[in-house]
Amino acid sequence: MSVELRELRCLVAIVDRGTFTDAALELRMSQAAVSRNLASLEHKLGIRLLGRTTRRLELTAAGERALRQARRVLGGVDELEREARGENERVRIGYAWSALGRHTVPFQRRWAAAHPGIELELVRSNTATAGLDDGTAHLAILRRPPPTDDYDLVLIGLEKRVCAMAADDGWAKRRSVTLAEVAERRVAIDAATGTTSLGLWPASTPPRGVVNTHDVEDWLTVISSGRAVGVSAESTADQYRRPGIVFRPVRDGPPIPVYIAWSRGDVPRDRDAVVELLVDLYR
């Protein structure tokens, strides 16, 4: 029995939307049809892809592998359809937290002016490779090296560190903070995709407490509630300005490297043009 594209689309939609109901709305199918397609996919593959907890759906280990391949297959089909329709070439650049901060809009505009026939798409992907591993991105903006050596990367620039805090926090009136001062507080950390880990502080003086978060939105929510402060790249402050949160420089924080990365075995045709423009922007 062959796996069908609609079954793969149902798996991806369920994971991305979080519920069968929302997946059905996105795919314009009934919830029962979404459930049948997932069951059919699991039957054909002979593995369980999703498990249920009391709060949410969770991918099994096999489901995570299947999801990566499903995204690759569907991405390839989308590219094929675009070429068949004679549409413009597209380059997708993934990022996990913030794209390029203050350089994002200049990058988009300069790219459009220099390459009018190549559509640029920035895609947020909450993975350590910002979408490279599952094929949702051709290139990725990373602020720490990829977890494996399956990827090549180029350093395009450095960013300063900032501390995020609730707008009514006593620190909000200050001009800057230090890492030692931050260590006296509870710190929100996203170990999967964030730029800050406990390694930023000496082992002898770690933060007083840690609040684990799952992505940038969760991180911002924790901080705005006053439960913790956070440390991130200045690009986060540029991209996520919102009521309830202020950012202050960490004056002794080491700079954060910014990389552009791609899969070693699948070099994007527009890589050199992207790298050249990004390096120039960060210069």
147 with 10, same domain: the answer is no
Q: Where does a domain end: 57, 82, 107?
A: 82
- Please report, for the domain that includes residue 274, its CATH number: 3.40.190.10
pLDDT at residue 19, rounded to an integer: 87
Are 135 and 176 within one domain? no
Q: What is the pLDDT of residue 53?
A: 60
Q: What is the CA radius of gyration of the chain?
A: 21
Q: Which burial class, exposed, middle or buried, applies to 137 when counting CB atoms under 10 A from its CB (0-12, 13-18, 19+)? A: buried
Tens digit of each residue's pLDDT (9 = 90 or more) over 226-270: 999 999 999 999 999 888 999 999 999 999 999 999 998 888 889
Predicted local distance difference test score (pLDDT) of residue 99:
94
Indicate whether 92 and 77 sit together in one domain: no
Q: Which of 23, 58, 82 is the last residue of a domain?
A: 82
How far apart are the two ends of the chain, measured CA to CA in Å? 54
Domain co-membership, 175 together with 202: yes
12 and 72, same domain (yes or no): yes
Q: Are residues 141 and 261 in the same domain?
A: yes
Domain with 111 in it: 88-156+257-282
Burial class, 33, CB count within 10 angstroms (exposed 0-12 / middle 13-18 / buried 19+) = middle
CATH code, domain with 76 = 1.10.10.10
Same domain membership, residue 182 and residue 55: no
Q: What is the pTM of this model?
A: 0.77
Q: Are residues 174 and 122 in the same domain?
A: no
- How far is the C-alpha of 138 from the C-alpha of 143, rounded, in Å? 17
Quote the tokens at residue 242: 């919102």
Instruction: Mark whether 70 and 111 lie in a shared domain.
Output: no
Of 18-27, 44-53, 70-79, give the lowest mean pLDDT range.
70-79
Same structural domain, 119 and 185: no
Per-residue pLDDT of 54-66, as tens digits, reads 566 788 989 988 8
Nearest one of 83, 68, 70, 79 to 38, comparing CA atoms: 70
Q: Among 22, 52, 82, identify where a domain stops.
A: 82
Higher pLDDT, 250 or 137: 250
Are 222 and 152 within one domain? no
Please indicate, yes or no, whether residues 181 and 263 belong to a single structural domain of this protein.
no
Number of domains forming the structure of the chain? 3
